[in-house]
């Protein structure tokens, strides 16, 4: 589900983070202590060599994904995806995962107004199946349960169904976009190739994914989709998980000019956050959750929402974020309330489409 997210504007040091946690406790919130072991997520950890992950060897590292970024790509997507799958088949394991993402453009004649004209497409491979994934990016995040935008519900649903239908038509897969009684769904006529819809907001799914047993079946539809609807030039991202260093180097030879970054998380006490940030400098950032609560605990008016407060560390210092499953107050009151709660200036900052 899409979340509503705000982020502080100014950076603070770690001592100020500790003071901020103390102020939250004074409001009656249950905040993690600095000695508490938590998952510290690192992302955008740009590297020059694969062994730079060893900078984090002081902590248990988990679920590491290597992202290979190929800027201004204009090649043949069938060849790109096919060569990656051929190499993937030589190193099959239950842990291994590979996917390639390519931005795609909504057809100009659809005149989209409520969604971004550029969205995302993926083709991916696992040991026992392959998948394609099509995602739409709404201009505005209205989460389930919020009533903002209800008067435009028909317009939202109609535009979303039209965009999905255009994508399905180009893919030329046995998929059906259905819109009945205000509910949007996508199904397959082949029971062995299930379709799932996800990333929901107030107007239904923003993403669908189809799984097939034989990934080769998806190479031609994916290449056709990218050829007709893909952005050119594009930033193509390839995601790797569960591979040895030697295999990753072999994959890199398929895109030798691309750049690398790592994402994943380490298990560490909160007091180590500054050390983890230092380990991945000058790039990258580290995120950790500080507390979770229902807004009704501290806000007597409005609608109750579920909130998570976190800290984000980078080379320039720390920022505070808050994510909510909905806005408990009218939009014009949110920033003022958050500023009083946090004691610092907050600005709306939606999550990345990745």
- What are the extents of the domains in the chain? 1-62+265-354, 75-232
The per-residue pLDDT for 179 is 81
CA pseudo-torsion sign 183, 122, 114, 200: positive
Mean pLDDT across the stretch 42-69? 96
The per-residue pLDDT for 182 is 73
Residue 198 near residue 207 (C-beta atoms within 8 A) = yes
2 band by pLDDT with thresholds 50, 70 and 90: confident
Give the β-pairing of 183-188 and 97-105.
unpaired
Say what the alpha-carbon torsion angle 332, 337, 343, 349 is, to the nearest 10 degrees. -50
pLDDT tens column, 272-324: 999 999 999 998 999 999 999 999 999 988 889 999 999 999 999 999 999 99
1 band by pLDDT with thresholds 50, 70 and 90: low
For the whole model, what pTM was predicted?
0.94
Q: Residue 77 and residue 84: Cα distance in Å, rounded? A: 11
Residue 98 near residue 81 (C-beta atoms within 8 A) = no
User: CA gyration radius for the chain?
Assistant: 22
pLDDT tens column, 239-262: 999 999 999 999 999 999 999 999
Q: Residue 272 and residue 87: Cα distance in Å, rounded? A: 39
The per-residue pLDDT for 248 is 97
Mean per-residue pLDDT of the chain: 94
């Amino acid at each position: 589900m899409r979340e509503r997210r705000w982020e502080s504007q100014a950076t603070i040091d770690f001592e100020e983070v500790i003071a901020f946690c103390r102020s939250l406790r004074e409001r009656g919130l249950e905040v993690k202590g600095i000695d508490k072991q938590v998952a510290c997520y690192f992302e955008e950890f740009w590297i020059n060599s694969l062994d730079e992950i060893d900078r984090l060897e002081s902590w248990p590292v988990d679920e590491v994904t290597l992202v290979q970024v190929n800027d201004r790509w204009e090649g043949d997507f069938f060849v790109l995806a096919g060569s990656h799958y051929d190499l993937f088949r030589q190193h099959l394991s239950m842990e291994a995962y590979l996917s390639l993402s390519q931005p795609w453009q909504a057809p100009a004649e659809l005149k989209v107004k409520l969604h971004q004209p550029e969205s995302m497409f993926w083709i991916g491979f696992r040991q026992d199946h392959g998948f394609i994934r099509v995602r739409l990016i709404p201009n505005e995040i209205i989460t389930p349960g919020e009533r903002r935008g209800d008067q435009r519900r028909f317009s939202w649903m109609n535009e979303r169904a039209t965009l999905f239908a255009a994508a399905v038509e180009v893919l030329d897969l046995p998929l059906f976009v259905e819109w009945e009684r205000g509910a949007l769904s996508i199904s397959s006529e082949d029971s062995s190739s299930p379709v799932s819809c996800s990333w929901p907001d107030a107007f239904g799914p923003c993403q669908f994914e189809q799984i097939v047993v034989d990934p080769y079946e998806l190479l031609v539809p994916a290449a056709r989709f990218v050829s007709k609807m893909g952005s050119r030039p594009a930033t193509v991202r390839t995601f790797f998980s569960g591979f040895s260093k030697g295999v990753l180097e072999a994959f890199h030879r398929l895109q030798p000019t691309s750049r690398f970054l790592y994402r994943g998380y380490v298990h560490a006490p909160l007091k180590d956050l500054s050390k983890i940030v230092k380990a991945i400098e000058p790039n990258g950032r580290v995120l950790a959750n500080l507390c979770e609560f229902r807004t009704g605990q501290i806000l007597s008016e409005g609608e109750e929402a579920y909130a998570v407060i976190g800290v984000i560390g980078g080379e320039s210092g720390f920022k505070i974020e808050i994510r909510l499953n909905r806005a408990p107050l009218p939009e014009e009151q949110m920033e003022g309330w958050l500023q009083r709660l946090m004691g610092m200036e907050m600005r709306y900052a939606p999550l990345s489409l990745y």
